[in-house]
Structure 1
Amino acid sequence: MVEYSAILIGYLLGSISSAVVVARVLRLQDPREVGSGNPGATNVLRYGGKGAAIATLLGDLLKGVVAVLIARELSLQPWVISATMVAVFLGHLFPVFFGFKGGKGVATALGAYLGANPWVGGALALTWIVVAVVSRYSSLSALVATALSPLYVWYWMGDPAYVAGSVVMVVILFWRHRGNIKRLLEGTESKIGK
């Protein structure tokens, strides 16, 4: 029963939308109703500024880290920790507290990876940063880092349960970014800070 509790806690933590909370605290517009409509750090940066974006990013990272650390602290099996990673990610995408209208899950997934294995999280963060510096596209950075995540997970974590969870997150994250992928191919995607 503890296993399912950890997964549920992960989903509920993921359902706390940092972007919406930050917007309410700072009396900004609801991020789901402005800009790209995505309640994530990149959209908040575009209309709320760096401070609000950093707070959103940290909140999204933290909920991923905390959810996975709870599962790890309970000494649960890899499949439960992997399922908790997916659950916190899905909570961010489909938050029960915010009408199931969530973000794309990049920062929350990164937080989950950091909580599971700092080497994987660090490799993903470094990949994102390098691609962002070179391309200036947040979405492309997220897609490249996400595409590499199963390889990083396999190398540093090894267990098939973690690899399977990573693949699930890759598929869902690419699906959530389908509009971004289309705009990248058309050359109309917004660059970071624009």
Structure 2
Amino acid sequence: MFRVYSLLIGYFFGNFLFAMIVGKFLLHKDPTKYGSKNPGTANIGAVFGKKFGIITCFGDLAKTLIALIIVYFLFKGNRQAEAACGLGVILGHSFPWWNHFNGGKGVAVSAMWMVFFDWRAGLIALIIGLILVIIMKNLTIPPLVYMIGFSVYVWINFGWQCGFIFLLATLVMCFKFRKDIVDFFEGNGKRVDVLTTIKKKIGKKAS
């Protein structure tokens, strides 16, 4: 039963879509009607500016951390409970009941979940993801790659139950990214050149 309770706790906190909260209270706009129409960090940042994107990201990171900490203390660091909680946050974030099950894609949530579960492996996975973003100039494939890799790592080191839960979360993210995945393989994916953006900022500051 502890897995069910952990999943429900995670789902409850996952329902707090900070893209919608930022949109309502700070922007007074509905982010699902702008840009990609996805209520997530990337769309908020792209349409309304990086400041609001950062606020959204920190909010999603915080809700994930709070849910995981609660479960950690409730079930005394039980690894399967932490895994189930993370899956719950992903589900709540991706399919929030109050927003007609229309949510985000879970990138920030998955990042916090991985680092909380195993901070060393989690950070390595995120660094690999960042390198892939720089090389591929794409924001769709890297998070899926690091989630698959981390899932395999968890399966090997923490047991198949935890690894399977992480793989389920990866499948949820794949479903949410399904259109972006198709666009990527058809050559129509949105390109994001991180290095060029950084160089431009450095150039502006230097001038």
Question: Aligned letter for 1:180?
Answer: D
Partner of 2:111: 110
**Counterpart Cα distance in 2 of 1:121 and 1:113:** 5
Cα pair distance change 1:147/1:88, threshold 3 Å? same
Partner of 2:92: 91
TM-score (norm 2): 0.84
What are the equivalent positions in structure 2 for 1:27-46 lying under 5 Å apart? 27-46=27-46
Question: Aligned letter for 1:161?
Answer: Q
Partner of 2:182: 182
Contact 1:31 1:38 in 2 (8 A): yes
TM-score (norm 1): 0.89
Superimposed CA distance per residue, residues 75-133 of structure 1 (whole angstroms, 9 cap, x where no aligned partner): 15332222111111100011123222101111112212222221232122212211111
Partner of 2:120: 119
What are the equivalent positions in structure 2 for 1:152-167 lying under 5 Å apart? 152-154=153-155, 157-167=157-167
| Cα offset, 1:141, TM superposition | 1.7
**Counterpart Cα distance in 1 of 2:150 and 2:159:** 14
**Counterpart Cα distance in 2 of 1:109 and 1:143:** 10
Residue 10 in structure 1 maps to residue 5 in structure 2: no
Superimposed CA distance per residue, residues 45-98 of structure 1 (whole angstroms, 9 cap, x where no aligned partner): 110111111111111122222211211122153322221111111000111232
Instruction: State the superposition RMSD in angstroms.
Output: 2.1
| Cα offset, 1:2, TM superposition | 6.1
Partner of 2:149: 148
Superimposed CA distance per residue, residues 19-40 of structure 1 (whole angstroms, 9 cap, x where no aligned partner): 1111122215322111111111
Partner of 2:70: 70
**Counterpart Cα distance in 2 of 1:154 and 1:140:** 21
**Counterpart Cα distance in 2 of 1:7 and 1:143:** 21
**Counterpart Cα distance in 1 of 2:106 and 2:53:** 15
What are the equivalent positions in structure 2 for 1:13-24 lying under 5 Å apart? 13-24=13-24
Residue 55 in structure 1 maps to residue 52 in structure 2: no
Percent identical: 27
For structure 1, the residue ranges without an aligned partner over 5 or more in a row are none
| Cα offset, 1:145, TM superposition | 1.5
**Counterpart Cα distance in 1 of 2:160 and 2:31:** 37
**Counterpart Cα distance in 2 of 1:92 and 1:34:** 19
For structure 2, the residue ranges without an aligned partner over 5 or more in a row are 198-207
**Counterpart Cα distance in 1 of 2:53 and 2:16:** 16
**Counterpart Cα distance in 2 of 1:2 and 1:161:** 14
Work out which of the two has the higher radius of gyration on C-alpha atoms and give 1 or 2: 2
**Counterpart Cα distance in 2 of 1:141 and 1:59:** 22
